[in-house]
Structure 1
């Protein structure tokens, strides 16, 4: 019996974990190689809002992935909770967007993608100090608690016998006759059936090291910083988005405030200036937070693309190489549809949506 995995995935974030889930459900043997700890990069660091920031300002390819993912999430969250005993805390608490100068585009987008919305009726703003401009209330939009979702997805992968190798450094890739034959890692040599690169902001580094001269996705790290408040439950009526920042209430009362968008290369350090900027926003919008303690401040690196759309494709020059990366700040919300599409392409199934916008060679 062969011990070669059908699929090897480089990258153990939410994209890698849910891609493994999709492929194991189709009967594949899957291994995930992660250079650090599973799920501790961009997937862990974000806020978990299951909607892009102002989606009507994004390319339509983003909205297509979002539409399918929103349909999948309720069932996915339930299945993960029931099969692993770890609740990802999918919470459809609603999203209030206080200022919408492009309200006509916003309404058109909601109607096109069947998103329930309110313009006249809003949640209680008693604890908020905001000056609404064409406010928009999206009562069904959910968030998930990133660390718990990742723990649940990891346990699900373990239950499905996915091989998880953390702190595993890929040192070389052997290619022969247009196929990847093996990987050399600090754990030894590993044969490859099909390789998926889902390494987020590090995807380009892998291409530069192991596939020089091969057409590569254009993905760069974009840093984001967040604060976590220890607040009483029910302080906010739902998630609040004002201009470029947001507040997200967790089920236990803790409130996330974010976030920044910084081009700093692979520097994941936090800064005092950004700390005070986010703190000022949060406490001006919700004055009660002045009495709450800040219990954490962190940064993560999002995988950004020049055109804003992730890459999900089989490589045209190596028959057993695929890429699923570049989701910027929307990795969690787009993950279910992105990973289903990736699995469809690898398994030769009719794709769940048009794959062309996510192709390496697609015009942008």
Structure 2
């Protein structure tokens, strides 16, 4: 019997399993499809909330810990697996913010390196940037991670751990429960028992928890993105304006996103979103005008109240733990969220105050 079953093979599930495996736990990770192919694949990978000053302290605490941890995580996974997650420090320019004063005050209070910069210096640093922008703030140390490669490297790392079992194509459709305790899960391949179960199923977590009669306020929020291929030196920094961003990869791929849509579990890309994203891309980077995106896709974020994830034990259901509901910041918050979860499961002092994320009182 495994010590822990992790339900969900996105970045949060993969990283939870990896950290638990490092603690010596016997772990079985269950994914109904392929690992890393849902929101973790679809996102942009900016290692920062899009507007960090607009979030609560709870989100900021997770984000700051993760931002500091990502470089060493990338180096460790590359060394262990040969797959480079490409933690790429480019910096990020926010353009023409309506709440620029609030952003700068947040940076001062939180000791974050966000500063107002002259727009001419931005144009010198980012020659591809479009005209029409008048103000900017800059955070030079913001990175992006190439999320499909991050999840692939985590999958490779798990595959090399003798105490971790990865089962893809195995859909969880319920829980084994007795006298208020969760003793495992029911799956398309039969029952699997364990001492603990971690639910990290992203946008699908609420549906699974409903099978226990619990209402988890996590719902799918659709996001669409497009991808261009340019020269490797086309865009030197991430840029963000009017809620849309452009992210450069090291090899010249440029991601532009994203939409926010409440469309249930529908992941169909739409022509309307494509037109809107292309217009944003061409406003930010006029050289993209007339260039066809090489890809267009959609993913489902696990929306939650205020974007605060649920991390910790489920009250009244001994043995069941949550690590879900990261909304737009799953890749940003994953390292800290998973470390916090493992700290709680091990009964040791947590990296940050766990109370804001506790399921108790929230479901």
Who is 2:272 aligned against?
273
Note if contact 2:97-2:241 (Cα within 8 Å) is conserved in structure 1. no
Consecutive unaligned residues in structure 1, runs of 5 or more: none
Who is 2:138 aligned against?
137
Q: Deviations over 1:106-159 (max 9, x none)?
A: 122223333223313544242211433541111110000111111011111111
CA distance in 2, matches of 1:182, 1:137: 48
Note if contact 2:184-2:197 (Cα within 8 Å) is conserved in structure 1. no
Who is 1:248 aligned against?
247
Note if contact 2:309-2:324 (Cα within 8 Å) is conserved in structure 1. yes
Who is 2:310 aligned against?
311
CA distance in 2, matches of 1:324, 1:181: 18
SS of the aligned residue for 1:294 comes to coil
CA distance in 2, matches of 1:292, 1:154: 34
Q: How many residues align?
A: 358
CA distance in 1, matches of 2:183, 2:333: 31
Who is 2:112 aligned against?
115
Who is 2:147 aligned against?
146
Who is 1:54 aligned against?
51
Note if contact 2:47-2:332 (Cα within 8 Å) is conserved in structure 1. yes
1:235 Cα shift?
1.3
Task: After TM superposition, list the pairs within 5 Å mapping 1:1-364 onto structure 2.
Answer: 4-120=1-117, 122-123=121-122, 124-161=125-162, 162-209=164-211, 211-212=212-213, 214=214, 216-290=215-289, 292-362=291-361
Query: Normalization by structure 1: what TM-score?
Result: 0.95
Query: Normalization by structure 2: what TM-score?
Result: 0.95
CA distance in 2, matches of 1:5, 1:196: 12
Note if contact 2:27-2:165 (Cα within 8 Å) is conserved in structure 1. yes
Consecutive unaligned residues in structure 2, runs of 5 or more: none
Shift in alpha-carbon separation, 1:105–1:362, aligned structure 2, 3 A: farther
SS of the aligned residue for 2:306 comes to coil
1:37 Cα shift?
0.8
Q: Deviations over 1:47-94 (max 9, x none)?
A: 000000111011111100001101111111100011100000100011
CA distance in 1, matches of 2:135, 2:353: 34
